[in-house]
Structure 1
């Protein structure tokens, strides 16, 4: 018996796009690679250099770029304290040491920022993981002595906001990068950010968040950046994001133009996603601004995307590390800085290589290549299917993940399309089996009287694309 999924345009919303963060991979020499910029941010096929030879890949066409505003300096006489657990790749150089500005800092990440723009990215956000070390209580950009302690010194709240605004203005005027949004926090409610942990981080109580947000709006306006919206708070989990939003004052909520949230809560029953959407309401947009896990096949990623779209209704979806080791990346990255210095002063020369490609690169291609910015996300009739419509091209795209046994699915398009027409199909097998399909063009199928039936093999992601569909 076939599972029927009715595609419905009711309550459709506009899609902003797909993206990635530049830290930490672009903090290395990988930030200067044209082939990676073309693969991640372009749509053409590209050959990417890897340790075992070139890999031919479809371009992902990511259009959202999140730039990490760093917190570290190594100037003469610097009093910055470094965590004994951090590695050099995870230390992002900042532009001011408290006395002097250095706009040549953070060269690798800035280089990829420009390459992404030139390859086709068009939406840029700047986010902070920690204030610059000299604004912190203990001089350590990895966090306070205890994870539940705020590490931005109270007297520097306004200076921190002004710092963000000055960099955003400089980027617009000098780098020709217009940050449409800035986010001053990264998982601020976690108790994980302490002086001994292995990356930059900073805890903020909700009161401290509110104070910074108010200062930031004023600082942006003073710099002539009144069109730059504030996103917040990049909480780690959907549930904590809902708690943060509910506990903000009405005045603080009015300062926030978009809610950002990370996807590290699996939330398989989707209750936390739905509660966050309900708390925020439909009037404020949401981005899923960071997703990652160490599973190479892409099934968990595809399921998370589908659950987000159906229950969180975000306008954008962002992966954290596109090039990372231990199957965390879309591409496998190898770096030279895996050993921290127990006495502080992280080792490493920021060298990096691409060692291979994970199946989830091809899985993500189904979504990013066929569900493009400005398309409308439709109701799909099932959590595992994402449906989107391109009004200009008059094209409908359906992307379905099947993590169970083989199943026949009937897509009911009678509200959208009549008559007969051809539907194009692409498939990825999320397995390592011999001859597994990797974003492979499959046999076309026929749509008759608004009904299309397709058998989905186990552990697959499938894209269906149909032309001449108007809403």
Structure 2
């Protein structure tokens, strides 16, 4: 039996360091290895960090391209902008929360254990559904100029109630808004709603 096959059969869980471009080559569903689905087995995928400091592109990449079971941030306390909270681990000192702490909050405070990750329809959108609560969570990022995003929920058997308010929070990359609750100005229009997104930068 080939070494690669033997190794694959012995692995029960995969953890991915997602900061390098090589990661996409290794686990992309279009690659030869197909590692993302556990070589044809039911392995658990754990994505464990994003490495480009205040950029959340890796979270969107990992979520949309890899069917992971958990996303774990391994540098909660670290210096030079790497940690969610600024810290000097050698000196044992803590500083303020970095901007990425509030960016991660867009995911961790709303996408909870047991929710089903759905196809958001675009690389910059992550959707999760809580069947028990009949609650849909959408996390989206606008890499471009300020614009409206259109969200069509018509694929759901009961999309929502016409006129229902859509609660929103916003966070900027680098500096600026930190998990700010947006004005209550977004409402369902039939099975759709439009939400205004400033550039994340």
TM-score, with structure 2 as normaliser: 0.85
Q: Which consecutive unaligned segments of at least 5 residues does structure 2 have?
A: none
The equivalent residue for 2:65 is 311
Q: Deviations over 1:419-446 (max 9, x none)?
A: 41221000012232xxx22101112310
User: In the alignment, does 2:192 pair up with 1:451?
Assistant: yes
The equivalent residue for 1:255 is 10
User: In the alignment, does 2:47 pair up with 1:285?
Assistant: no
1-structure distance, mates of 2:96, 2:160: 44
**Cα 1:410/1:260, change in 2 over 3 Å:** same
Contact 2:168–2:181 under 8 Å retained in 1: yes
**Cα 1:401/1:371, change in 2 over 3 Å:** same
Contact 1:367–1:399 under 8 Å retained in 2: yes
The aligned runs of 1:323-402 (5 Å cut-off) are 323-335=77-89, 337=90, 351-402=91-142
Q: Deviations over 1:330-370 (max 9, x none)?
A: 111024x4xxxxxxxxxxxxx41111111000000000010
Question: Which secondary structure does the structure 1 equivalent of 2:114 belong to?
Answer: coil
**Cα 1:451/1:327, change in 2 over 3 Å:** same
Question: Which secondary structure does the structure 1 equivalent of 2:72 belong to?
Answer: strand
Cα shift at 1:315: 1.1
1-structure distance, mates of 2:22, 2:192: 32
2-structure distance, mates of 1:273, 1:419: 39
Contact 2:77–2:87 under 8 Å retained in 1: yes
Q: Deviations over 1:152-207 (max 9, x none)?
A: xxxxxxxxxxxxxxxxxxxxxxxxxxxxxxxxxxxxxxxxxxxxxxxxxxxxxxxx
The aligned runs of 1:190-269 (5 Å cut-off) are 247-250=3-6, 252-266=7-21
**Cα 1:283/1:319, change in 2 over 3 Å:** same
**Cα 1:320/1:367, change in 2 over 3 Å:** same
What is the aligned residue count? 191
Q: CA RMSD in A?
A: 2.2
Higher helix share: 1
Cα shift at 1:449: 1.4
Q: Which consecutive unaligned segments of at least 5 residues does structure 1 have?
A: 1-245, 338-350, 461-471
Contact 2:50–2:58 under 8 Å retained in 1: no
Q: Which has the higher contact order (CA 8 A, sep 6+)?
A: 1
Contact 1:292–1:320 under 8 Å retained in 2: no
The aligned runs of 1:420-439 (5 Å cut-off) are 420=162, 421-432=164-175, 436-439=176-179
